[in-house]
Amino acid sequence: MLSPWKLAKIEGQGLHDLATALASYAQEHNFESHQGCYTIGYGEAEILVIYDNAPDNRGPQYRVEELGLFRAHLADQRIRELAFASYPAAGEENAGYSYAMLIDMSDPDEIKTLIDTFHKIKVAVGS
């Protein structure tokens, strides 16, 4: 986990702006993949980026449920969500269609488990 002083330094560099840019990038360049993840280095941090371009056709409450369950899992594991943003912005056509979530991944051994959990939640809510 990032030390508080490192996290404060990183957050001061605009993690929300980064999440917004990555949500836009997901829609513009990774649309066909529907969802995915990758890691990036950002300053001294290792960040897991999870993106989703596939809101549930049944309604927005299903995405809210998915995110709620995933965030609960993060909290249970004491893993910090660093930023979240959706694209297009509120008020624009198809607002919030894509999103990017940035997660502190100081322990690379947790990445596969976290990704598996994300996919299991998507399947469980979608069924």
pLDDT band per the 50, 70, 90 thresholds, residue 1: very low
pLDDT of residue 11: 53
Of 21-25, 53-57, 95-99, 101-105, the poorest mean pLDDT is in 53-57
The span from the CA of 78 to the CA of 88, in Å, is 30
Q: Please determine, for residue 102, whether its predicted confidence score (pLDDT) is greater than 90.
A: yes
Please state whether the peptide bond connecting residue 88 to the residue before it is cis, i.e. omega within 30 degrees of 0: yes
Percent of the chain with pLDDT over 70: 85
pLDDT band per the 50, 70, 90 thresholds, residue 40: confident
Q: All domains of the chain, ordered by start, with CATH?
A: 15-126 (3.30.70)
pLDDT band per the 50, 70, 90 thresholds, residue 34: confident
CA quadruple 127, 24, 102, 91: dihedral positive or negative?
negative
Give how far Cα 43 sits from Cα of 14, 24, 58, 61, Å: 12, 21, 39, 35
